[in-house]
Amino acid sequence: MPGRTIRVLIIDDSPLVQRIISEGLAKDPNIDVCGTASDPYHGRDQIIKLRPDVLTLDVEMPKMSGVEFLRRLMPQYPIPVVMVSSLTERGQKTTLEAMAAGAVDFVAKPKGGDLAQMIDELRTKIKIASTANVAHWKNRQYEPASGGDAGLGINKTAGQIVSKRICAIGASTGGTEALREVICGLPRTFAGTVVVQHMPVGFTKMFADRLNSLAQVVVKEAEDGDIIYDGRVLIAQGGKQMEVVRSGMGWGVRCFDAPLCCGHRPSVEQMMFSVAKNVGNKAIGAMLTGMGADGANGMKAMRDAGAHCIAQDEATCVVFGMPKEAYAKGGAESLVPLPRIAATLVNMLR
């Protein structure tokens, strides 16, 4: 985490929320709330005037939605943004749209009145966001995400061919859009794939459904007992650990309540250790953008078991933490730019 003072601008239409967030962030000596704004237009003026390092942005805003604001802001003035999201279905959908429009991460408003945990999470994510690489958004033309067979919708069904090979992917900060690019680049018959993306309870199903509407492969939120089929991607549930286990002639997933691993639930580490143990040299792996080291030892175990693994390179990562650690520990045999990862995974299976 950076030792310097991070200048933060809070954009939220509620004076009460502005005050709560400001007072909560002020307790951290490394964070300076340099200003607040009540709507995106005021926020734009404050950005130009105050030059903050990070924005916090409410998902649902008056005059202009937080998503539309991001679509206009990021190509002109790329800046790390942490969204403040509601747990409603609409809030989840809008949050994922915000991630696609350039937000680095998000925190979810608690269902009850206790905001202490959210503020603590927000402090952490602001520090991570301050290190994020968002320069690639400069002059970028926003286009809705699409895949090779976009529009197939969530009624697609995978074939019932039990996978003989398995692909394991881990991601965290910046991973929602990295995963979109990778998964939308996979062919319909690609090996069964398991994914851990750090994401809270309630968001993973909508995230999986969104990817499913864009990709050629079938994408679904993993459920305990799901079989791993070719052409199927299983996204670990928020709030549960996921492991790959033997199931008949192939493999399935076990989703269960368990303690945090490497500070996360779901954890890339726990998933990849299970792949190393139960799949061995029949697996391949990829580590995408993310803060920290979750999965580094698990990917090394996969390599030791005979699997081939890669990691996203620094230039295309939002945060070069998890890929860096995986590569440094010998888990990833090479660093690959994001636009080439899907093709590289396909070639690895050949």
22-50 per-position pLDDT tens digit: 999 999 999 999 999 998 899 999 999 99
The whole-angstrom separation of Cα 35 and Cα 19 is: 11
63 and 170 both lie in a single domain: no
Neighbour count for residue 141 (Cβ, 10 Å): 5
Of 100, 122, 137, the residue that ends a domain is 137
Task: Give residue 27's pLDDT.
Answer: 93
129 and 170 both lie in a single domain: no
Q: What is the pLDDT of residues 288-316, one digit of tens each?
A: 999 999 999 999 999 999 999 999 999 99
133 and 170 both lie in a single domain: no
Task: Give residue 148's pLDDT.
Answer: 41
194 and 62 both lie in a single domain: no
Does 266 sit behind a cis peptide bond, omega within 30 degrees of 0 on the bond before it?
yes
Question: Which of the residue ranges 98-112, 159-173, 224-238 would you say has the lowest mean pLDDT?
Answer: 98-112
205 and 322 both lie in a single domain: yes
Task: Give residue 151's pLDDT.
Answer: 40
What is the average pLDDT across 71-76? Answer: 91
149: part of which helix (H) or strand (E)? Answer: none
Task: Give residue 88's pLDDT.
Answer: 72
Contact (CB, 8 A) for 101 and 73: no
CA 338 to chain CA mean position, Å: 14
**Position 152 pLDDT exceeds 80:** no
Task: Give residue 150's pLDDT.
Answer: 41
Q: Does 120 reside within a domain?
A: yes
Quickly state the pLDDT bin for 90 (edges 50, 70, 90): confident
Active site residues: 172, 198, 294
Quickly state the pLDDT bin for 324 (edges 50, 70, 90): very high
Number of domains in the chain: 2
**Position 2 pLDDT exceeds 80:** no
* Residues written for the chain: 350
Query: The domain spanning residue 59 has which CATH number?
Result: 3.40.50.2300
171 and 101 both lie in a single domain: no
The whole-angstrom separation of Cα 237 and Cα 222 is: 6
Quickly state the pLDDT bin for 147 (edges 50, 70, 90): very low
Residue span of the structural domain in which 44 resides: 6-137
126 and 270 both lie in a single domain: no
Output the pTM of the full model.
0.91
Q: Does 153 reside within a domain?
A: no
The whole-angstrom separation of Cα 97 and Cα 90 is: 11
Q: Does 146 reside within a domain?
A: no
* Percent of the chain residues past pLDDT 70, beyond the cut: 92
129 and 235 both lie in a single domain: no
Task: Give residue 59's pLDDT.
Answer: 84
**Position 116 pLDDT exceeds 90:** no
- Cα Rg of the chain, angstroms: 20
Largest CA-CA distance found in the chain, in angstroms, rounded = 63
Contact (CB, 8 A) for 230 and 200: no
189 and 317 both lie in a single domain: yes
Quickly state the pLDDT bin for 1 (edges 50, 70, 90): very low
Q: What is the pLDDT of residues 240-286, one digit of tens each?
A: 999 999 998 899 999 999 999 999 999 999 999 999 999 999 999 99
What is the average pLDDT across 12-29? Answer: 91
When the pLDDT of each residue in the chain is averaged and rounded to a whole number, the result is 91
**Position 109 pLDDT exceeds 90:** no
The whole-angstrom separation of Cα 251 and Cα 109 is: 37
Query: The domain spanning residue 334 has which CATH number?
Result: 3.40.50.180
Task: Give residue 89's pLDDT.
Answer: 76
Q: Does 227 reside within a domain?
A: yes
The better pLDDT of the pair 1, 73 is held by 73
Q: Does 183 reside within a domain?
A: yes
